């Protein structure tokens, strides 16, 4: 079965364009910093160029290395939820004994119904929420895990 990945970050094409633009800006202001530094002119123009270089470097890193995790990732092995500003939750399908499906949440009963792991997905768009619900139901049926609507 295919994995379901819900990600609200920028697309790869837009990230590539951002990296190119901010790389150009970083190189240009670095050139200004070097020429002003060689001429021993450490005035406002040098400071502004230095600040612009730091901001461009931060934007390059934000579009390459500091990418946010997907909001929801559902595979045959696990369900991962990484809502912004909240604690990420990982549920392995091996330990799930029952699933309760609510309007915008899922409750996974794990370890023989001794523990509950609740995944709140109220921040998702309605279409994405429907897709996640259908994928959870599909995997429950495939793995013979009982589920119920709440």
Q: Indicate the SS3 state at residue 80.
A: strand
The residue ranking higher by pLDDT, 126 or 67, is 126
Mean pLDDT in the chain? 92
Q: What is the pTM of this model?
A: 0.75
pLDDT band at 111 (very low <50, low <70, confident <90, very high): confident
Give dist(CA 28, CA 22) in Å, integer: 10
């Amino acid at each position: 079965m295919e994995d379901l990945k819900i990600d609200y970050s920028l697309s790869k094409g837009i990230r590539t364009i951002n990296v190119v633009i901010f790389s150009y800006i970083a190189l240009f202001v670095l050139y200004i910093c070097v020429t002003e530094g060689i001429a021993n002119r450490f005035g406002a123009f040098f400071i502004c160029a230095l600040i612009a270089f730091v901001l461009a470097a931060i934007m390059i890193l934000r579009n390459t290395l500091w990418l946010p995790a997907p909001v929801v990732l559902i595979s045959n092995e696990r369900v991962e939820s990484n809502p912004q500003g909240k604690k990420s939750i990982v549920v392995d399908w091996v330990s799930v004994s029952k699933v309760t499906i609510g309007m915008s949440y899922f409750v996974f009963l794990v370890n023989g119904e001794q523990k509950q792991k609740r995944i709140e997905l109220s921040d998702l768009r309605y279409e994405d929420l429907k897709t996640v619900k259908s994928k959870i139901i599909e995997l429950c049926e495939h793995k013979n895990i009982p589920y119920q609507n709440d």
